[in-house]
Amino acid sequence: MDYALSYYKLIPERVYEVTSMTTKLLKEYETPFGCYSYIKSSRCFYPIGLTLAHSGDSNTFMIATKEKALCDKLVYTKKLQITSLRGLQAYLEDDLRIELDELQMFDLDIIKSCMQCGKKVSLLVKLYRLLEQKKMYQ
Is the pLDDT reported for residue 92 higher than 90?
yes
Q: At 113, is the pLDDT very low, low, confident or very high (cuts 50, 70, 90)?
A: very high
The count of domains in the chain is 1
**Which pLDDT belongs to residue 49?**
94
Instruction: Note whether 100 and 92 are within 8 A (CB).
Output: yes
Q: Is the pLDDT of residue 122 over 90?
A: yes
Find the mean pLDDT for residues 26-42: 90
Which pLDDT score is estimated for 68?
A: 96
Q: Which of 9-13, 105-109, 132-136 has the lowest mean pLDDT?
A: 132-136
Nearest alpha carbon to residue 97 among 16, 17, 12: 12
The pTM for the full model equals: 0.89
Decide: helix, strand or coil at residue 93.
Answer: helix
| pLDDT (0 to 100) of residue 76 | 92
Task: Reply yes or no on whether the pLDDT at 6 is more than 80.
Answer: yes
Q: What value does the mean pLDDT take over residues 60-77?
A: 94
pLDDT of residue 138: 59
- Owning domain of residue 70: 2-136
Q: 130 pLDDT band (50/70/90 cuts)?
A: very high
Measure the CA–CA gap between 94 and 104, rounded to whole angstroms: 18
The mean per-residue pLDDT over the stretch 20-34 comes to 89
For residue 137, pLDDT over 80 is answered with no
**6 CB burial (10 A radius; 0-12, 13-18, 19+):** middle
Average pLDDT, integer, range 49-72: 91
